[in-house]
Structure 1
């Protein structure tokens, strides 16, 4: 994580949030207490900002300055609202292509996915505010700068985003092993949103209940699943193939 993308100190983080800075994630010292810390927690929850509790050693590694038990990372990109992203994309494209990442938590996987998304013409990536991978220096580096070319939208709930897309005429397809349908048998040629799940749990079962289609990749080896960024690449390039 690059030092210029960090804010340290409780009051400084509160001020940054109130000033509308794009805070990506806040690291809070485990068992930290006090009135100011309570004020910070209220501010983070009110603004739906991603945070996690970490040992003091992690905070000390992030900055040698007096962090007071809290360090925030500033996102190197601005995030879009769901409505403005979907409206602008549908306006300019007959076959919009969205990518929804359900609780993907690894910054390098996220960066690799963004890079593939940019190469395959994805119009926008939708992630959840809580529990998603941070957009940090690792993400930027792994994406080879593609993070600056693909609009990213943060939403409170993935399911609400899916309902909104469906209401806008966009077909939703989830990547999951919990189906008999192969990716190659599904029509991906129209307006589309592909949903990829987290590294360990896949797409949330409650999300699987509301998508239009579920699809899996054929597997011939003894290992039962692919790395999520590799699987995402297979889904996106099959979409490209069908649309060519």
Structure 2
């Protein structure tokens, strides 16, 4: 169950939270919910591109024992950063940019572990999509060991647009994928870079693979064909550290 401090219950309360500018990570809505007030909420959710999920009442009852009225909103524990501003600030700082892009990563514990490793390896920011990814919630905070409060995170409408923006800013995009013969040791990480890590089941989206600058994989010497995404991400990030400290 989520910590109640990260939840808002009821249609009207959630409408007021959105209108007041609260950072809402996701809204769970009971299937079949109807009515004028719900239509107002639905319009706000769509116009603000807030992630929603239609679920049976049993799901809502597991999230809380309170009277939820068919709707529960999860409040993000952090404020998200603007991508354009973050990229500009990093470039102007004189650092060699190092970003991480998470393409539809869904497991919140993997997400938290990646944030922790990213903070330890000096990543300048993590980019996630508004819809379809792991929620930024109490579990992410716990798994990241608090690193989530130190790591700039940007939520974007589309990963592709973020990639195009980074490329136009002089940042090379490297996708971590098994669908290549190149290893991460073939890539020059001493220049500005953003690593794309894919979802646990499908990896990096084919449409994303088409627009990246490089594809790279980890050499696998055992019988198992793949690593956990947070472990693989750590290997890529520490290869960047190794090359830049050489």
Q: Deviations over 1:101-159 (max 9, x none)?
A: 00111111100000000000001000000101111000000000000000000000000
Alignment gaps of 5+ in structure 2? none
Alignment of 1:89-238 (within 5 A): 89-238=90-239
Aligned to 1:24: 25
Alpha-carbon distance, 1:38 to partner: 2.1
State the SS of the aligned residue for 1:132.
coil
State the SS of the aligned residue for 2:12.
helix
Alpha-carbon distance, 1:242 to partner: 0.4
Give the TM-score taking structure 1 as reference length. 0.98
Across the aligned residues of Structure 1 and Structure 2, the Cα RMSD in angstroms comes to 0.9
**Whole-angstrom distance in 2 between the partners of 1:59 and 1:17:** 20
Aligned to 1:44: 45
**Whole-angstrom distance in 2 between the partners of 1:143 and 1:103:** 18
Give the TM-score taking structure 2 as reference length. 0.97
Q: Deviations over 1:144-175 (max 9, x none)?
A: 00000000000000000000000001111000
Alpha-carbon distance, 1:217 to partner: 0.5
**Whole-angstrom distance in 1 between the partners of 2:95 and 2:22:** 34
Alignment gaps of 5+ in structure 1? none
Q: Deviations over 1:58-89 (max 9, x none)?
A: 21122222211110011000001111111111
**Whole-angstrom distance in 1 between the partners of 2:51 and 2:89:** 27
Alpha-carbon distance, 1:221 to partner: 2.1
Aligned to 2:60: 59
Give the ranges of 4+ consecutive aligned residues of structure 1 lying more than 3 Å apart after TM superposition: none
**Whole-angstrom distance in 2 between the partners of 1:198 and 1:13:** 30
Q: Number of residues paired by the alignment? A: 244
